[in-house]
Amino acid sequence: MAETRLETLPEECLSHVISFTSPRDACRSSIVSGMFRDAADSDLAWENFLPSDYREIISRSVSPVEFSSKKELFRKLSSTPLLIDGGNKLIMVCWLEIRGKINTRMLSPNTTYGAYLVIQLAGRAFGLGVLPSEVSIEVGDYKTRGTIYMNHEQCKRQEVDVLSGGVERVLCARGDGWLEVELGEFYNDGSEKEVKMEFREIKGEQLKGGLVVEGIELRPKHSLNLEGFL
Amino acid sequence: MVTTDEKGPLTAKKKSVIIRSCDGDEFLVSESAAVLSTSLKKILEEKEDRLIHLSDIDNKTLAMVIAYLSTHADDGLSDDLKRSFDQEFVSGKEFDVLKYLVLATDTLQVTCLCYTVAKKMADIMKNKLVEWVRREFDIQNDYTPEAEAEIRRLDAWAWDDRQLEDD
């Protein structure tokens, strides 16, 4: 058999193979060797990991997104939230419900995402922490739910499992002046589905107010990809 | 040696070509199968004689590619059958064999097969340790420890080696 070692495989061919792995595998490929890195960092390899309509997404961004390669763009989109919609302030209600929808087309395939509600509590916030709020995520047949308490005091606590089967989550400070709470996580297998995210507190009829909502942020959870998770 | 493709002896009416591997084996292939490779199609358009010598594809790999081309050129097979042939084609193949195949299909520009093989290789590569990749691709680490540390720093999240596989 002739010596056609893969060292002589064209970079483009190798990039093609890497483009079918995952962002994590592609990053790790860059450490195999210098030649492997050129293939693993190429736009050809990373094009597949970006949402198919990333051009539209970044064109809707409030601040301009600049990048020199597709890999750099992926890093930016994963590490810095992209604010597409503006914020809203809740004056006072008794029935609180926030819903968000996004198509998985706008997200990277083969990636586990966490959805986070990004908020602030105004100094005069009231009525929000009386009862736990319900949060849920639905993607196709997959559904996850949990409960959260909207209290400042519980900011630093870790997630705790509760008897109801769901997960109880708490508010965390983001370091940018906003607070966030995880609504849930899901795995995007690359097929086109609608992600429905919901936050609600409708059981307590007390008045609630002082909630400032920046939006719902989706970002990859860089834990292991659990394939076939859904 | 002349080997006919899977459809058996070709009728006089059908045009055929002879493709020779780098190790000297010759394969008789119908022209309708050969032209599914963009590279072979271009060669056939440009030259008169019906012998094509491929200097960088060995006989085993070439036999597999020709089996694929002949199946896909067979008008008697449904698209479903061709699709299941494709899945069967890559399943259970050693990583090493796939490496030769992806190189051959890239050279011959057999886009569909190149895609299927690359995807299969990627499925095998997923969640593998860097050491596994180096071993299977027969590649030496040419980084200095400092350069390696710098790359690891760039995408720290990717370097959690728990649950990665080495075989």
How many residue contacts between A and B have a Cβ separation below 8 Å?
Answer: 110
Q: Which helix (H) or strand (E) holds A102?
A: strand A96-103
Predicted structure pTM score: 0.64
The distance of Cα B30 from the centroid of its chain, to the nearest Å, equals 20
- Which comes out higher in pLDDT, residue A95 or B108? B108
Q: Ramachandran region of residue B156, left (φ > 0), alpha (ψ -120 to 50) or beta? A: alpha
Cβ separation A36–B137 shorter than 8 A: yes
Say if residue A120 is in the same domain as residue A209. Answer: yes
Planar angle of CA A184, A55, A110, nearest 5 degrees: 40
Average confidence score pLDDT of chain A: 75
In what side-by-side order are the strands of the sheet with B2-4?
B2-4, B26-30, B16-20, B51-53
CATH code of the domain in which A115 resides: 2.60.120
Mean pLDDT of A164-175: 68
Rg (chain A; Cα; Å): 21
Q: Which amino acid is at A174?
A: R
Å from A12 to nearest chain B CA?
Answer: 9
Cβ separation A224–B140 shorter than 8 A: no
Say if residue B82 is in the same domain as residue B117. Answer: yes
Number of structural domains found in chain B: 2
Say if residue A115 is in the same domain as residue A187. Answer: yes
B22: tokens are 């780098």
Say if residue A100 is in the same domain as residue A193. Answer: yes
pLDDT at A223 over 60: no
Q: For A24-33, A154-163, B42-51, which range has the lowest pLDDT when averaged over its residues?
A: A154-163
In tens, the pLDDT along B13-27 reads 468 999 999 999 999
Residues of A in contact with B143 (CB under 8 A): 31, 33-34
Interatomic CA distance for residues B127 and B167, integer angstroms: 10
Percent of chain A with pLDDT over 90: 10
Enclosing domain of residue A70: 9-79
In tens, the pLDDT along A90-133 reads 555 556 677 788 888 888 888 888 888 888 776 666 666 667 78
For CA atoms B80, B82, B84, B86, give the dihedral sign: negative
Backbone angles phi, psi at A95, to 5 degrees: -120, 110
Among A79, A107, A139, give the residue marking a domain's end: A79
A147: tokens are 């409960």
Q: B125, B16, B111: which is closest to B70 by C-alpha? A: B16
Among A79, A105, A127, give the residue marking a domain's end: A79
In tens, the pLDDT along A30-56 reads 999 988 899 999 999 998 888 777 887
ipTM computed for the complex: 0.84
Residue A205, pLDDT score: 62
C-beta separation of B126 from B118 below 8 A: no
Residue A159, pLDDT score: 44
Among A49, A79, A109, give the residue marking a domain's end: A79
Say if residue B136 is in the same domain as residue B120. Answer: no
Interatomic CA distance for residues B70 and B75, integer angstroms: 10
pLDDT at A183 over 80: yes
Say if residue B116 is in the same domain as residue B139. Answer: no
Say if residue A73 is in the same domain as residue A118. Answer: no
Residue to substitute from B126, B138, B162, interface A, most A β-carbons within 10 A: B126
Backbone angles phi, psi at A186, to 5 degrees: -155, 160
Say if residue A210 is in the same domain as residue A106. Answer: yes
Instruction: pLDDT band for A209, please (50, 70, 90 cuts).
Output: low
Cβ separation B106–A13 shorter than 8 A: yes
Instruction: pLDDT band for A199, please (50, 70, 90 cuts).
Output: confident
Mean pLDDT of B129-147: 89
Interatomic CA distance for residues B133 and B151, integer angstroms: 17
Looking at the complex, does the CB of residue B114 fall below 8 Å from at least one CB of chain A?
A: yes
Say if residue A32 is in the same domain as residue A115. Answer: no
Enclosing domain of residue B151: 130-159
Instruction: pLDDT band for A8, please (50, 70, 90 cuts).
Output: low
Cβ separation B133–A225 shorter than 8 A: no
Q: Is residue B76 part of a domain?
A: yes
Cβ separation A33–B134 shorter than 8 A: yes
Looking at the complex, does the CB of residue B124 fall below 8 Å from at least one CB of chain A?
A: no
Residue A40, pLDDT score: 92
Interatomic CA distance for residues A84 and A86, integer angstroms: 7
pLDDT at A19 over 90: yes
Q: Is residue B166 part of a domain?
A: no
CATH code of the domain in which A22 resides: 1.20.1280
Residues of B in contact with A16 (CB under 8 A): 102, 106, 114, 118
The chain A residues in contact with chain B (CB within 8 A) are 1-2, 4-7, 9-10, 12-13, 16-25, 27-37, 75, 222-225, 227
Chain B residue with CA closest to A225: the answer is: B127
